[in-house]
């Protein structure tokens, strides 16, 4: 094993910047009063900006470092840039919400930054061990974030459930990794692919390890039947935390599936494709059907997340470059739509009022026509209505499964898309065709309003001009 070189450190510069920024925030925040907490907020934004510039400055070629455990390629760069932008938006969206509730503390920004570091590590994982380190760094930060409001018993209960179930999933994932190592003798994803091509794929132990590995991946994604934590966690966590949980980690879990399944286990696609088919169908079915019965908007969006995970898995299970590109397109666009949807809850919330019920949006079209239209854009895009970007995201993953001959699966996806449109359009009906709810008001600050407007308009602009994002993904994932 070679010693760490200057090249290794240069490739990991974004991760070192994130780690340094999080450590600096943690140290500086100790000496700040509540009235000076804005310093930590701006340090967080500055850390993300510097990290994004460092990612943009990485070499354009695919390179490996740390003896093959760390990979920098087009996918890693794109995922890291999108993650940095997403977390910066989360910080801006969360600011007013945290201040109003007395939760504007440095711990929030430190924990989110450490979670972002976990996403970065997963995006560049060249080894099963590196991937597991990134998963745990992200997961431990998420557990603490869910319990961030220490005075809320609901948040504490959600965090306990998440921690217990997450620990079981992490153990399952690690057990699968250990079995695969025992069969193949390597953690390196590139070497794993080579050994499977040479004939190790016929060993029954590999399939046994794959089953445990798939269970762990499904839990992290929130795919049925490993979805039970999502509604409780999304509902119980403060909305500023749900903002983060519902968006950025999806990029990490796409990286998990791509690196492990496509790159490491790509030669045994027939073995894991069937498992993903079951997970995708169940996720689309349960997510869309149960969402119809929800009256709480955060729980509805939680089940919407589950159904959208099913669509992401459609692209991955195709097992083709076109399928992986479609899944990445869907993941990025879903992150954009989820950010805006949860931010609308933040926009209407105020101290003592969460605005997390669907009926809290009654009459928004009369009180604030502009933001009612922004919410309409987000809802119909997530439902998959043209010309919004959500339509093209669904179209591309359905095309990917058609290309591999899974016509019945494409029909199922279209059917559940139609069912899903009902609960999204119900929110639109409540906003425009019902009398205003008592006390409904837009309470967010100028930065939140401006950024949320751009967020909602982007789902329309990216739908009309989606070729730019498609081309970017094609260059990153040829």
Tell me, what's the pLDDT at 344? 93
Per-residue confidence band for 62, with pLDDT thresholds at 50, 70 and 90: confident
Tell me, what's the pLDDT at 399? 96
pTM of the predicted protein model:
0.95
The residue among 146, 19, 122, 132 whose CA lies nearest residue 71 is 122
The string of pLDDT tens digits covering residues 274-310 is 999 999 999 999 999 999 999 999 999 999 999 999 9
The string of pLDDT tens digits covering residues 96-148 is 999 988 889 999 999 999 999 999 999 999 999 999 999 999 999 999 999 98
Tell me the C-alpha to C-alpha distance, in Å, between residue 81 and each of 53, 54, 111, 120, 256: 9, 10, 19, 10, 17
Across residues 410-419, what is the average pLDDT? 94
Across residues 313-333, what is the average pLDDT? 95
The string of pLDDT tens digits covering residues 419-451 is 999 999 999 999 999 888 676 777 778 899 999
Q: Where are the domains of the chain?
A: 6-476
Across residues 80-84, what is the average pLDDT? 97
CB of 234 closer than 8 Å to CB of 297? no
Distance CA 277, CA 406 (A): 10
Per-residue confidence band for 398, with pLDDT thresholds at 50, 70 and 90: very high
Given a cut of 90, is residue 375 above it in pLDDT? yes
Tell me, what's the pLDDT at 185? 87
Residues above pLDDT 90, as percent of the chain: 74
Tell me, what's the pLDDT at 203? 74
Distance CA 238, CA 215 (A): 28
CB of 217 closer than 8 Å to CB of 260? yes
CB of 413 closer than 8 Å to CB of 312? no
Tell me, what's the pLDDT at 444? 77
- What mean pLDDT value characterizes the chain? 91
Distance CA 87, CA 161 (A): 25
Tell me, what's the pLDDT at 439? 66
The string of pLDDT tens digits covering residues 153-177 is 889 999 999 999 999 999 999 999 9
Given a cut of 70, is residue 239 above it in pLDDT? yes
CA atoms within 13 A on the CB side of 415: 11
Determine if the peptide bond prior to 163 is cis (ω within 30°).
no
Determine if the peptide bond prior to 388 is cis (ω within 30°).
no
Per-residue confidence band for 313, with pLDDT thresholds at 50, 70 and 90: very high
Please list, in sequence order, all residues whose beta carbon lies within 8 angstroms of the beta carbon of residue 383, skipping any fewer than 6 positions away.
390, 417, 420, 421, 424, 425
Tell me, what's the pLDDT at 68? 86
């Amino acid at each position: 094993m070679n010693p760490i070189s200057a090249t290794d450190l240069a490739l990991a510069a974004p991760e070192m910047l994130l780690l340094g920024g999080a450590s600096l925030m943690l140290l500086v925040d100790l000496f700040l009063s509540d009235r000076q907490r804005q310093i930590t907020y701006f340090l967080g934004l500055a850390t993300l900006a510097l990290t994004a510039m460092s990612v943009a400055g990485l070499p354009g070629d695919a390179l490996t470092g740390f003896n093959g455990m760390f990979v920098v390629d087009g996918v890693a760069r794109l995922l890291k840039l999108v993650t940095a932008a997403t977390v910066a938006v989360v910080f801006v969206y969360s600011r007013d919400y945290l201040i109003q509730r007395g939760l504007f503390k440095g711990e929030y920004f430190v924990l989110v930054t450490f979670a972002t570091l976990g996403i970065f590590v997963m995006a560049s994982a060249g080894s099963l061990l590196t991937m597991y380190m990134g998963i745990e760094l992200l997961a431990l930060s998420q557990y603490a974030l869910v319990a961030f409001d220490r005075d809320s018993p609901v948040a504490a209960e959600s965090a306990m459930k998440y921690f217990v179930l997450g620990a079981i999933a992490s153990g399952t994932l690690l057990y699968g990794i250990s079995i695969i190592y025992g069969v193949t003798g390597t953690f390196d994803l590139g070497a794993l692919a080579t050994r499977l091509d040479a004939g190790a794929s016929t060993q029954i132990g590999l399939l046994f390890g794959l089953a445990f590995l798939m269970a762990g991946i499904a839990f992290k994604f929130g795919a049925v039947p490993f979805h039970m934590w999502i509604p409780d966690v999304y509902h119980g966590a403060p909305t500023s935390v749900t903002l983060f949980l519902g968006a950025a980690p999806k990029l990490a879990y796409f990286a998990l599936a791509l690196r492990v399944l496509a790159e490491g286990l790509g030669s045994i696609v027939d073995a894991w494709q069937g498992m993903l088919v079951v997970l995708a169908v169940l996720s689309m079915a349960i997510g869309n059907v149960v969402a119809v019965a929800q009256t709480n908007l955060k729980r509805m969006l939680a089940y919407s997340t589950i159904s959208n995970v099913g669509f992401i898995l459609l692209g991955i299970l195709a097992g083709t470059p076109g399928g992986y590109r479609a899944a990445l397109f869907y993941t990025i666009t879903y992150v954009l739509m989820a950010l805006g949807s949860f931010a609308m809850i933040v926009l209407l919330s105020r101290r003592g009022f969460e605005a997390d019920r669907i009926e809290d949006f009654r009459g928004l079209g009369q009180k604030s026509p502009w933001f009612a239209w922004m919410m309409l854009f987000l809802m119909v895009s997530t439902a998959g209505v043209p010309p919004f970007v959500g339509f093209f995201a669904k179209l591309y993953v359905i095309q990917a499964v058609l290309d591999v001959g899974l016509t019945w699966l494409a029909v199922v996806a279209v059917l559940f898309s139609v069912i899903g449109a009902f609960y999204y359009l119900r929110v639109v009906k409540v906003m425009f065709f019902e009398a205003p709810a008592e006390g409904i008001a837009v309470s967010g600050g100028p930065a939140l309003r401006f950024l949320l407007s751009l967020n909602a308009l982007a789902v329309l602009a990216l739908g009309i001009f989606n070729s730019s994002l498609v081309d970017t993904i094609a260059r990153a994932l040829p």
